[in-house]
Every structure is written in structure tokens, then in C-alpha cells.
Amino acid sequence: MPQIEELRACADTVDRGCEALTVGTPAALDCCSGALQAAVERLAQLQSGWTETPNAADLEEAWRLRRSVQRASALLENAAAYHRGWSAVVAVKAAGYGPGGIPGEVVPGRRVWMEG
């Protein structure tokens, strides 16, 4: 596959991941994770085998890929901020309030991530 087609395929894959992020369901988020990982792997392979000097069309497609990655980054950062905000609200509600209306001490939850 020509390099420009590989770049286009990477950008399309990242765009699919972005679309999944806007849906917000657990299945869509799983799809997003897989799409972004596939794009990274594909780009790494392309980068290691890059043989041609990039022309204007290659550069245009590379910029498109960059914009797609920046969009995915912004969506992921906003999703994380939203999650942190709701976690703080739930934590305060769970801990209750102390004397004088001061929120109770909240011990943040811990997470474990495992892949097999």
C-alpha cells in the first residue's frame, strides 16, 4: 500500500476512535481504545518502513492525521475531566459533612488495570 494510503488509513482509524468517544457508551469506548491502538501500531510500522521522500500530498495527509490525533486528545482529556468532577461529587456525598458544614475527609479510590 502506498505511504499516502497508509497515512489516510491511520487518520481514518483515529477518526473512528473520535466518533466512538462522542457516543460515550462502554462498547463505544472499547471500540475507541482498539481503534486508537490500531492506528498507533499502523503508524509505527509505516514510520519504520518509510522509504520515499514525502511530497505535498503526503504532508497534507500527515497534517490531517495530526488534526485527528489532536481531536482525540481533546476528547479524552474532556472525558477524564468529566469523570474526575463526578468522582469528586460522589466522594463528597459519600463522606458526608462534618461540624460546621465542612465536607468530610475523602480517601480517593484506587484503580487496578490488568490486561491478559
pTM of structure: 0.73
Q: Could you give the number of structural domains in the chain?
A: 1
Per residue in 4-43, pLDDT tens?
Answer: 898 999 999 999 999 998 987 888 888 888 899 999 998 8
Per residue in 75-97, pLDDT tens?
Answer: 989 988 988 888 778 777 777 77
Cα–Cα distance between 24 and 43 in angstroms, integer?
Answer: 26
> What phi, psi does 97 have (nearest 5°)?
-125, 145
pLDDT of residue 109: 66
Cα–Cα distance between 28 and 36 in angstroms, integer?
Answer: 12
Residues 6+ apart with CB under 8 A from 25: none
In a 3-state reduction of DSSP, which class is residue 75?
helix
Flag whether 103 is in a domain. Answer: no
Owning domain of residue 43: 3-86
**First CA to last CA across the chain, in angstroms?**
32
Most confident of 25-34, 42-51, 61-70: 61-70
Most confident of 25-29, 55-59, 84-88, 99-103: 55-59
Flag whether 105 is in a domain. Answer: no
Q: Which residue in this structure is represented by grid cell 487496578?
A: 112
CATH code, domain carrying 65:
1.20.58
- Could you tell me if 91 and 106 are in contact, meaning their C-beta atoms sit under 8 angstroms apart? yes
